[in-house]
Structure 1
Amino acid sequence: MSDLAIRLAVPDDLPPVVAMLADDPLGAQRESPDDLTPYQEAFQRLSEDPNQHLVVAVREDRVVGTLQLTIVPGLSRRGATRSIIEGVRVHADERGSGLGTQLIQWAVDESRRRNCQLVQLTSDVTRADAHRFYERLGFTASHVGFKLAL
């Protein structure tokens, strides 16, 4: 996959990124690709925060994957810095190509480069295929997560 580039997202990447976020049963319920306004505002906030890294995978000038990496300084674990991987998506045409592995490897490498001691991610309980994928990459299901909608 030498023709693949992983780079920071730019505003013009928002339409394909949002389309990928919406391209599954869960995303279809919570994303609105027809109205990019909230995504543009969120992108601006992300761009201004040095601990946020929204990246895209690009092949032949086409956005084919994305993820967000957040760097979180902390006190626990002897003052460890951790990273959180979120919003991992691969375009339907690219699934099974190894692109997801490359995206996660980029995030792990970047986390090491930023002196993180731990990489975390969450996945909806219904995403069994994603769970197998993350476990294959060495992640372990170590915690139970909780959410509170505001």
Structure 2
Amino acid sequence: MSYLDIRRAVADDVAAIVALLADDPLGAQRESPDDLAPYLAAFERIRTDPNQHLVVAVRDGRVVGTLQLTVVPGLSRRGATRSIIEAVRIHADARGDGLGTRLVEWAIEESRRLGCRLVQLTSDSTRRDAHRFYERLGFEASHVGFKLPLR
């Protein structure tokens, strides 16, 4: 396995990140890689928010993975700060070689470094392989999630 660099995403990474987000049955329904304008606007909001950490995993000069880590200060749990891991994606030809594990472990360690007391994530109910992956990393399926689309 060649060297892997996990670093903050830059605007030039947005097209590769969107391609990763779109490269599965769920993402193919939600994402529009042919129009990067809304993604670039969102990237700028993420880039300027100190509680957002959008990273890419780069191998041999190519983006092969991504995730977003959000730090959320709160009052519950005795004023604990928590982090949320979202949008974990690995390029299809890089899956199975431990890259996802390395990315999530990076997010856990970064959460510790930032003083978080809890790391949480959600995963679509249809992503059974992802659920097993997160359980192997020590995450517990402890809550039921709900969403309300706003139009």
TM interval, shorter chain, is: over 0.9
1:57 equivalent in structure 2: 57
Structure 1 segments of 4 or more deviating over 3 A?
none
TM-score by length of 1: 0.99
Secondary structure of the structure 1 residue equivalent to 2:138? coil
1:10 equivalent in structure 2: 10
- For structure 1, the residue ranges without an aligned partner over 5 or more in a row are none
Deviation at residue 125 of structure 1 after TM alignment:
0.2
- For structure 2, the residue ranges without an aligned partner over 5 or more in a row are none
TM-score by length of 2: 0.98
1:23 equivalent in structure 2: 23
**1:1-150 counterparts in 2 under 5 A?**
1=1, 3-150=3-150
Deviations 1:17-39 (A, max 9, x none): 00000000000000000000000
Backbone CA RMSD of aligned residues: 0.7
Aligned length: 150
What's the % identity of the aligned pairs?
77
> Equivalents in 2 of 1:88, 1:108: separation in Å?
13
Deviations 1:67-100 (A, max 9, x none): 0000000000000000000000000010001000
